[in-house]
Amino acid sequence: MKPIIGIIGRPHKTNTECNVIVCFEEYRNAVIKCGGIPILILPTQIGELNDIRPSQMEPMTDEEKADLKRQLDVCDGVIFAGGQRIYEYAYEAFDYVVEKDIPALGTCLGMQTMACGRSERKSWEILTKIESDINHRIIKPEFVHYVDIIKDTKLYEILGKERVRVNSKHGYCINSSGDMKISAYSEDGIIEGIELSDKKFIIGVQWHPEDLLDEDMEKIMIEFIKASQKSDS
């Protein structure tokens, strides 16, 4: 059976100023193409998240956390998608998938969520505005820079090479990976990949493999879907 892949929804404001929780089409299409069934994981707190900064939100109640976990229990794998802000529900979701060893892939802000969630420091202490000769914030799904993959990592096992071409849509980067292993750096020394080596599949990348989806990026998506696959027996 195809695995069910939960995609963590992100707050978004439309051109008509409507507040919505979204799953971008690139994630949905990539999951389907690579053999999974996508579903949207929604925040369980009441409120217009686009109008409230994470620091202004009330802490999640035990009931809200339990409701979020019920959604995640349906999933065979979870994608922590890109976005603009990291809210508590994303941290709670990541803690839960690590606890239950549910395969997870984080991209862009999703990778940053993983790093911040595995550190005792706050997100504003982990995230640093990029100052580089490379423009990392290119919205179009095109090659922007190279990434060097570290050997003896799961990411290297998947890609089978020490350097890959990636796209890039972020203005901030992480300055610490918490207790996660660093698996890749950009040409200018920015952390571009992290993972938990003792888990089935917990990998974060700073770029958007679901968007570029060339031969290398498709390998990442396919291996994530495979790791999420349950035995039919």
Query: For 150-167, what is each residue's pLDDT tens digit?
Result: 999 999 999 999 999 999
**Residue whose tokens read 């992100």:** 10
Q: Domain segments of the chain: what residues?
A: 4-228
Contact 37, 89 (CB under 8 A): no
What value does the mean pLDDT take over residues 15-44?
95
Contact 193, 206 (CB under 8 A): yes
User: How far is residue 95's CA from residue 127's CA, in Å, rounded to a whole number?
Assistant: 19
Long-range (24+ apart) CB contacts under 8 A made by 18-23 are 19/48, 19/49, 19/50, 19/51, 21/49, 23/81
- What average pLDDT is seen over the chain? 93
Tens digits of per-residue pLDDT, 106-117? 999 999 999 998
**Band (139; pLDDT cuts 50, 70, 90):** confident
User: Strands 77-80 and 4-8: what pairing?
Assistant: parallel
CATH fold for the domain made of 4-228: Rossmann fold (3.40.50)
Q: For residue 166, count other CB atoms closer than 10 A to its CB.
A: 22
DSSP state string for 37-75 = EEEEEPP-S-S-GGGS-GGGSPPPPHHHHHHHHHHHHT-
- Residue 231: what pLDDT? 58
pLDDT exceeds cutoff 90 at 180: yes
Tens digits of per-residue pLDDT, 80-106? 999 989 999 999 999 999 999 999 999
Side chain identity, residue 125: E
Q: For residue 222, count other CB atoms closer than 10 A to its CB.
A: 16
